[in-house]
Amino acid sequence: MNALSSRDGLVEVGFDAIATFFYKLAEAADKLKEEGLWTYMPDPSELREKVAQGTVRVKLGFPVYQKGGVIMDVTNVEQAGIAEDAGAVAVMVLDKLPYDIRKAGGVARMADVNVIREVMNSISLPVMAKVRIGHFMEAKVLEALGVDMIDESEVLTPADEKHHINKWLFKVPFVNGARDLGEALRRISEGASMIRTKGEAGTGNVAEAVRHMKTVMAQIRELVSMAEEDRVLKAREMGVSYELVELTARLRRVPVVNFAAGGIATPADAALMMWLGADGVFVGSGIFKSQDPRQRAEAIVLATSLWMDPEAVLEAQSMISERKSMMGIDIRQLKPEELLQVRGV
C-alpha cells in the first residue's frame, strides 16, 4: 500500500537535508576547488535574505511537485491543450518531436521562442523547453522568457563538446539526462535540480531507458553496501565530491527528483519505469507520434500514478490500441553516430 514511502530513503532523511547540503558544500568551496572537483557552486547569501527568489530550495522544490506525473513533449498550442486536458503535470515545447529530429537530421536547436510563448499563454501548467548542451545563451533566453524549467538535452545538437552549463547561475531550475550514476551526480554538481534517464529518444523503444534506470539503481545499491574508503575511490572515479556520494548512499536514491525518459510509448512502459524506481516520466514522441494521442496521453497519466496497481495499469492499457502505437525503431539498427545518448557525459 505504501508503495512510494517504502522504497524511498527520503522518508528517513527529509527534503531539507538535500537543500541544506548544497549550501554546506558551497562553504567548503575552496577545499573542493583545490581538489579540482567542484568548480560550480550555489550562492549561500540567499539564505540570509528575508524574501529570496529562485533559491536552491525553490529550484529543487519545483520538480518535487511533478513527481508521479507525466511531462509531455508538444510542438504547438493544440498539443499543449490535449496534454493539459489529459492530466499532464507539465509540457516540454520542442520545434520537432525527437522522432522527427532523427528523420530530419541537420542541427537541432532550441524551439521557436514565439511558439514557446504561445504555449505559455495558452495553458496553466508549467512549461519547459530544451536547450543544446553547453549553450549558456539559449538558456539565458529561455530564463528571460520565463519558462519554468530548462532541459539541457542531448536530443538537440550539443553546442559545447566539453562542458555543460553552470546551472547554479540561473533562477530557473534545470533537468539533465544521465545514463549512469556518475553522469547524474556530475549534472547535480553543476546545479541540475532534476535528473532523467537519457534512454534513446524518438525510438519508441523503452529498452535504453530501462538499461539506464537499472544501471543507476544498481550503482546506488553498490554504494550503499560499500566500505567508506571505497566510496572515496568511487567519488574520485565519478569526478564528484565525496560528500555528494555520501548523501546519495544515505538517501539510497538519486538526491534530486529522478524521472524516466527516452522511448516511453505505452502506459505499460510508463508503469515499468515507475516500478524500476522513476519518480515520474517524460513522454516524447510516444504520444503525438501515435494514432490515438488523446486516449494515450490520459492512459499514460493513469498508469504513471497507479503503477503499483496492476488493475489500474490494465485499465490504462485498455484505453489504447497497440495498432495505434508509434512504430518505433530497433536500437540495434541505429548506427553509432545516430545514437543521441552518447552526447554530453
Partner 1 sequence: MKVGVLALQGGIVEHVYMLKKAAENLGINLEVIEVRKKEHLNQVEGIVLPGGESTAMYRLGKRLGIADPLRERISNGLPVLGTCAGAALVAKEVIDKQSGKKYEPLLGTNDVRVIRNYFGRQRESFEADLEIKGLGTFRGVFIRAPVMEPLSERVEVLSEFNGKAVMVKEDNVILTAFHPELTSDTRIHEMFLRSIA
State the Cα–Cα distance between residues 213 and 254, nearest whole angstrom: 11
State the Cα–Cα distance between residues 13 and 247, nearest whole angstrom: 10
Binding track over 5-24 against partner 1, x by CB under 8 A: x--x-xxxxxxxx-xx----
State the Cα–Cα distance between residues 269 and 328, nearest whole angstrom: 13
Contacts of 39 (CB under 8 A, 6+ apart): 33
Q: Shortest approach of partner 1 to residue 178 CB, angstroms?
A: 21
Q: Shortest approach of partner 1 to residue 24 CB, angstroms?
A: 13
The nearer residue to partner 1, 16 or 34, going by C-beta atoms, is: 16
Q: Shortest approach of partner 1 to residue 151 CB, angstroms?
A: 13
Among 115, 302, 320, 340, binds partner 1 (CB under 8 A): 302
**Options 59, 67, 130, 167, the catalytic residue:** 130
The nearer residue to partner 1, 92 or 340, going by C-beta atoms, is: 92
Please, which residues bridge with residue 174 across strands? 150
The nearer residue to partner 1, 101 or 149, going by C-beta atoms, is: 149
Nearest Cα residue to 116 out of 84, 92, 137 = 92
State the Cα–Cα distance between residues 214 and 197, nearest whole angstrom: 10
Do 178 and 196 meet the contact criterion of CB atoms below 8 Å apart? yes
Per-residue buried b or exposed e for 109-119, using 16+ beta carbons within 10 Å of the residue's own CB: ebbebebbeeb
Catalytic (active site) residue 50: no
Site for partner 1, residues 110 to 169, rule: CB under 8 A: 120-121, 124-126, 143, 146-149
Do 281 and 209 meet the contact criterion of CB atoms below 8 Å apart? no
The nearer residue to partner 1, 294 or 343, going by C-beta atoms, is: 294
Q: Shortest approach of partner 1 to residue 220 CB, angstroms?
A: 16
Binding track over 76-115 against partner 1, x by CB under 8 A: --------x-xxxxx-------------------------
Among 33, 103, 171, 214, binds partner 1 (CB under 8 A): 171
CB atoms within 10 A of CB 168: 18
What are the backbone angles phi and psi of residue 197, rounded to the nearest 5°? Answer: -70, 155
Contacts of 340 (CB under 8 A, 6+ apart): 98, 154, 155, 198, 200, 201, 202
Stretch that binds partner 1, among 26-34, 154-162, 266-274, 301-309 (CB under 8 A): 301-309
- Tell me, what amino acid is at 108? A
The nearer residue to partner 1, 54 or 310, going by C-beta atoms, is: 54
Q: Shortest approach of partner 1 to residue 65 CB, angstroms?
A: 5
> Under the criterion CB under 8 A, does residue 48 sit at the interface with partner 1?
no
Strand ranges of the sheet holding 149-153, from the earlier edge strand across to the other edge: 257-259, 194-197, 174-178, 149-153, 127-132, 90-93, 70-74, 281-283
State the Cα–Cα distance between residues 303 and 70, nearest whole angstrom: 10
The nearer residue to partner 1, 84 or 183, going by C-beta atoms, is: 84
Stretch that binds partner 1, among 23-31, 51-59, 227-235, 266-274 (CB under 8 A): 51-59
Stretch that binds partner 1, among 63-71, 91-99, 110-118, 326-334 (CB under 8 A): 63-71
Q: Shortest approach of partner 1 to residue 107 CB, angstroms?
A: 28
Do 181 and 216 meet the contact criterion of CB atoms below 8 Å apart? yes
Among 64, 207, 226, 329, binds partner 1 (CB under 8 A): 64
Of the chain, the end-to-end C-alpha distance in Å amounts to 37
Among 24, 28, 33, 54, binds partner 1 (CB under 8 A): 54
> Under the criterion CB under 8 A, does residue 277 sit at the interface with partner 1?
no
Q: Shortest approach of partner 1 to residue 227 CB, angstroms?
A: 28
Positions annotated as catalytic residues are: 130
Binding site for partner 1 (CB under 8 A): 1-5, 8, 10-17, 19-20, 50-55, 57-58, 61-62, 64-69, 84, 86-90, 120-121, 124-126, 143, 146-149, 171-173, 298, 301-302, 305-306, 309, 312
